[in-house]
């Protein structure tokens, strides 16, 4: 069979940087928005400011945190989060039967301070 008819092999590169900007958008939409902004604004500093301003609302949303992320941001162990949930201090959502997600806003209000990045 000609090699042009075979499906392309998946990329094995593991050192790619993760996409942080517009992370909640589909890849095609993210590329379209970035291309439109780049075409419309010539000044690099202004273009970067606009791209950051567009990305900021998605980052400010109440994002569901995995247990590991919540532990790292709050500075406590996973067991402590489980105890707080059992005591009714936190109300995590179940993503699947065994996966739990914590609300960033609820965690911040319980701790009494804003969590870093």
At residue 66, the 3 state secondary structure works out as strand
Looking up tokens 């995590």 gives: 92
- Residue 71: the pLDDT is 92
- Residue 49: the pLDDT is 76
Paired with 100 in beta bridges are 94
**Cα-Cα-Cα-Cα dihedral sign, residues 68, 71, 77, 79:** negative
Q: What pLDDT, in 10s, does the model give residues 20-56?
A: 555 555 666 767 777 777 788 878 888 777 777 666 5
- Domains (ranges, CATH) in the chain? 27-60 (no CATH), 64-111 (1.10.1660.10)
Q: What pLDDT, in 10s, does the model give residues 87-106?
A: 999 999 998 888 999 998 89
| C-beta separation of 75 from 84 below 8 A | no
φ/ψ region of 22 (left if φ > 0, alpha if ψ in -120 to 50, else beta) reads left
């Amino acid at each position: 069979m000609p090699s042009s008819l075979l499906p392309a092999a998946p990329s094995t590169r593991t050192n790619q940087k993760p996409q942080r900007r517009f992370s909640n958008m589909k890849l095609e939409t993210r590329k379209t928005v970035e291309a439109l902004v780049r075409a419309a604004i010539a000044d690099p500093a202004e273009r970067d400011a606009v791209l950051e301003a567009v990305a900021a609302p998605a980052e400010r949303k109440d994002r569901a945190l995995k247990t590991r992320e919540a532990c790292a941001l709050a500075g406590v162990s996973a067991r402590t989060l489980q105890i707080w949930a059992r005591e009714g201090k936190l109300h995590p959502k179940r993503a699947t039967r065994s996966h739990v997600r914590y609300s960033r806003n609820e965690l911040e209000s319980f701790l009494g301070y804003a969590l870093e990045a």
